Amino acid sequence: MEKMQFKAESKRLLEMMINSIYSQREVFLRELISNASDAIDKIYYRALSDDSLHFNKEDYYIKVAADKETRTLTISDTGIGMTKDELENNLGIIAKSGSLAFKNENELKDGHDIIGQFGVGFYAAFMVADVVTVISRALGSDEAYKWQSEGADGYTIEPCDKSDVGTEIYLKIKENTEDEKYDEYLDEYRLKSIIKKYSDFIRYPIKMDISGKRPKEGSEELEDYKEEQIINSMVPIWRKNKNELSAEDYEKFYQEKHYGFDKPIKHIHISVDGSIRYNAILFIPEKIPFDYYSKEYEKGLELYSNGVLIMNKCGDLLPDYFSFVKGMVDSEDLSLNISREMLQHDRQLKLIAKNISKKIKSELQALLKNERDKYTGFYQSFGRQLKYGVYSDFGSNKELLQDLLMFYSSKEKKLVTLDEYVSRMPEDQKYIYYAAGESNERIEKLPQTEVVADKGFEILYFTDEIDEFAIKMLMNYKEKEFRSVSSSDLGLEEEDKEQDLQDENENKELFSYMKEVLGDKVKDVRISKRLKSHPVCLSADGEVTIEMEKILKAMPD
């Protein structure tokens, strides 16, 4: 038996990698399962061009088994296997990817199901194992070989027996230390949940012998049993045809994924096969998550590359104003970095994010148009976020969001859109009027609303602090400016300036007395045509209205 050495740099690289690439140890299993899946895929692709090979899907699977007594975790597959050379090249040379070479050699333009590309994933096994043993027999060969390594020290290869084509990987799981626990990687339940988390959509069955207790036949006594189960769901729902899926299927997915405890108001299933290919399933929740308007809330979508989970919450996929959206994106066109936890560059991601935003907007618009009640419910939960979106806008959010806004209407006594408001405006109405206050009831009683309401004009009630700020950013909608009912110029019919002057002169003494009494609480005391049934009202000059002033004053400096 000949012992071979890693080259010096490789040795360092291996140490470095084992300890620093991955942020979580559990991904070792994702890496080994991905390799097994690639190995099966390779037989599948071979069979496409080789008539002597038949690919029976039933014959191909991955098996994970743990033995606590010997501290051994085994991952075996019925894939293409490795020859002696391949064991040396692919497992002995770090950063050499047999899978990438396979894709290139076979010019597999559609070989995008093959996951491997960097040639480092395998070594993740050393994060949890002292000794890694690989027994493999390659397709078309009757020899099998055993590769074994204790990490940076090097590896050995020797012939061995194996009856079927495929690969078995034995991990001797490390002993627990004071600070580090490794037992969990021998625990059925834990292994199962790691598989579910990262490898649920691997296309081949991942089997495990699961033990449990069940009632003995014909008796109440319980007996232990072990039963082979398939752990992964295999076909991801997002790759299925939309027509085959029911609303319940999506709901089930929403719940299984723990996106929320509510029932989503709407699901959006996107399949794009353009310059960038991706599938996405998005949900608009019904209820506000308890932490939604807090700092703890983290927006984002799950990001998959080829059915393998890469990131739990990819924040870059969602703009802040759609931060309530839940769901996932799967793309085969992402350029992953070596740990496969991040992306090398975000060009593709930006494209996907842009696409997704447009789609969410149009779906929300459709909801507004076709299912008004549902939309209103949604708006009551998340409308504020849309308004923040308008307010914090520097670019194009405005265009994107303005049609989704709703405000309570004095006339309709319900939430209406700006479009609805404008389309109802009589010809002599210059502005979109609004009144700000704590509640609809309070606003209704505001003296300032009277003149506008008496003209028969509709008033929008702003009860959210953000409302007026957002509208200031919008400035106008369909060329109609917004105007607060407490503004000094309401743009109503020409006011009679002469009469005003005369009135002012007649009351000069009274006004200057009032000004004296009120001191710097007011800037001026003027005659007003605004009032019908109320004796006085406050009005504001300039951009900042009284309501805004209140909010600004209440804000911490």
Residues 338-343: contacts with CB under 8 Å, at least 24 apart: 338/21, 338/118, 338/120, 339/21, 339/22, 339/23, 340/27, 340/118, 340/121, 340/305, 340/308, 340/310, 341/22, 341/23, 341/27, 341/310, 341/311, 342/310, 342/311
What residue spans of 21-57 are helical by DSSP H? 27-49
**Is the Cβ of residue 116 or residue 307 nearer to Mg ion in the bound state?**
116
Q: Does 78 bind ligand ADP (CB under 6 A)?
A: no
For ligand ADP, the binding residue among 10, 117, 365, 392 (CB under 6 A) is 117
End-to-end alpha carbon distance in the chain: 75
Task: Determine whether the annotation assigns residue 177 to a binding site.
Answer: no
Task: Determine whether the annotation assigns residue 35 to a binding site.
Answer: yes
Helix axes 372-391, 465-474, angle to 10 degrees: 70
**Is the Cβ of residue 121 or residue 307 nearer to Mg ion in the bound state?**
121
Question: Which of these, 353, 295, 296, 294, lies nearest to 325 by C-alpha position?
Answer: 353
Q: Does 17 bind ligand ADP (CB under 6 A)?
A: no
Task: Determine whether the annotation assigns residue 97 to a binding site.
Answer: yes
Binding-site size for ligand ADP (CB under 6 A) equals 23
Q: Does 73 bind ligand ADP (CB under 6 A)?
A: no
Beta bridge partners of 207: 63, 230
Task: Determine whether the annotation assigns residue 315 to a binding site.
Answer: no
What is the spatial distance between Cα 117 and Cα 100, in angstroms, rounded to a whole number?
5
Q: Does 122 bind ligand ADP (CB under 6 A)?
A: yes
Report the SS3 class of residue 436.
strand
How many CB atoms are closer than 10 A to CB 348? 18
For ligand ADP, the binding residue among 27, 36, 280, 474 (CB under 6 A) is 36
What is the spatial distance between Cα 35 and Cα 62, in angstroms, rounded to a whole number?
10
Binding segment toward Mg ion, per CB under 5 A, in 119-127, 372-380, 469-477, 532-540? 119-127
Which of ligand ADP, Mg ion, none interacts with 82 (beta carbon under 5 to 8 A by kind)? ligand ADP
What is the spatial distance between Cα 92 and Cα 239, in angstroms, rounded to a whole number?
36
Which of Mg ion, ligand ADP, none interacts with 547 (beta carbon under 5 to 8 A by kind)? none
Q: Does 319 bind ligand ADP (CB under 6 A)?
A: no
Instruction: Give the type of residue at 407.
Output: F
Question: Which of these, 311, 322, 330, 327, lies nearest to 271 by C-alpha position?
Answer: 330
**Cα distances (angstroms) measured from residue 146 to each of 75, 155, 294, 517:** 15, 10, 55, 99
**Is the Cβ of residue 97 or residue 232 nearer to ligand ADP in the bound state?**
97
Q: Which x/- pattern, by CB under 5 A, does the window 33-72 give for Mg ion?
A: --x-------------------------------------
Using DSSP bridges, classify how beta strands 72-77 and 166-173 pair: parallel, antiparallel or unpaired: antiparallel
Q: What is the DSSP letter of 237?
A: G
Q: Which x/- pattern, by CB under 6 A, does the window 151-170 give for ligand ADP?
A: ----------------x---
For ligand ADP, the binding residue among 29, 66, 120, 301 (CB under 6 A) is 120
What is the spatial distance between Cα 274 and Cα 294, in angstroms, rounded to a whole number?
37
Task: Determine whether the annotation assigns residue 118 to a binding site.
Answer: yes
Q: Does 121 bind Mg ion (CB under 5 A)?
A: yes
Question: Which of these, 465, 468, 464, 495, lies nearest to 484 by C-alpha position?
Answer: 468
Q: Which residue is nearest to ligand ADP (CB)?
A: 98
Q: Does 383 bind Mg ion (CB under 5 A)?
A: no
Which of ligand ADP, Mg ion, none interacts with 138 (beta carbon under 5 to 8 A by kind)? none
Task: Determine whether the annotation assigns residue 25 to a binding site.
Answer: no
Q: Report the residue count for the chain.
A: 557
Q: Which x/- pattern, by CB under 6 A, does the window 167-206 give for ligand ADP?
A: x---------------------------------------
Task: Determine whether the annotation assigns residue 98 to a binding site.
Answer: yes
Q: Does 37 bind ligand ADP (CB under 6 A)?
A: no
**Is the Cβ of residue 131 or residue 351 nearer to ligand ADP in the bound state?**
131
How many CB atoms are closer than 10 A to CB 351? 17
Q: Let me know if 439 is exposed, middle or buried by CB neighbors in 10 A (0-12, 13-18, 19+).
A: exposed
Q: Does 35 bind ligand ADP (CB under 6 A)?
A: yes
Q: Does 97 bind ligand ADP (CB under 6 A)?
A: yes
For ligand ADP, the binding residue among 17, 18, 82, 490 (CB under 6 A) is 82
CA quadruple 466, 469, 470, 475: dihedral, nearest 10: 160
Q: Does 119 bind ligand ADP (CB under 6 A)?
A: yes
**Is the Cβ of residue 116 or residue 447 nearer to Mg ion in the bound state?**
116
CA quadruple 462, 468, 471, 473: dihedral, nearest 10: -160
Task: Determine whether the annotation assigns residue 187 to a binding site.
Answer: no
Q: Does 91 bind ligand ADP (CB under 6 A)?
A: yes
Which of Mg ion, ligand ADP, none interacts with 437 (beta carbon under 5 to 8 A by kind)? none
Where on the chain is the footprint of Mg ion (CB under 5 A)?
35, 116, 121
Which residue numbers belong to the known binding site?
31, 35, 77, 82, 90, 96-98, 117-122, 167, 340
Where on the chain is the footprint of ligand ADP (CB under 6 A)?
31, 35-36, 39, 77, 79-82, 90-91, 97-100, 116-122, 167
Which residue numbers belong to the known binding site for ATP?
31, 35, 77, 82, 90, 96-98, 117-122, 167, 340
